[in-house]
């Protein structure tokens, strides 16, 4: 029987190896259609939307929007905007 491991139960080395596998797989994907298929296979519909919104927030931050402006535009709280570190 497998027990689900939470991130804080993984050693630092296990986290590094896991992320390396993810980054290697993602970097092997070429083209928009292949990327769409990869993300569809990897993430739930909800996870894809949430990831897309985080990228949208990061883009707005890079364009100079304030956290308050982003919160109003995308109807998200300051914690959500604050989690999207850019720079």
Chain segment 42-54, per-residue pLDDT in tens: 999 999 999 999 9
**pTM, 2 dp:** 0.74
Reported in sequence order, the residue ranges of the chain that DSSP labels E, i.e. its strands, are: none
Percent of all residues in the chain with a pLDDT value above 90, rounded to a whole number:
76
∠ CA 25-13-39, nearest 5°, is 25
Domain-by-domain residue ranges, the chain?
30-87
pLDDT-derived band of residue 77, with 50, 70 and 90 as boundaries?
confident
């Amino acid at each position: 029987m497998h027990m689900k491991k939470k991130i804080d139960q993984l050693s630092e080395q296990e986290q590094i190896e896991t992320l390396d596998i993810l980054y290697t797989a993602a970097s092997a994907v070429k083209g928009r259609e292949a990327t769409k298929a990869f993300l569809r296979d990897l993430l739930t519909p909800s996870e894809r939307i949430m990831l897309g919104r985080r990228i949208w927030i990061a883009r707005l931050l890079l364009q100079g929007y304030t956290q308050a402006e982003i919160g109003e535009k995308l109807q998200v709280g300051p914690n959500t905007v604050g989690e999207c570190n850019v720079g």
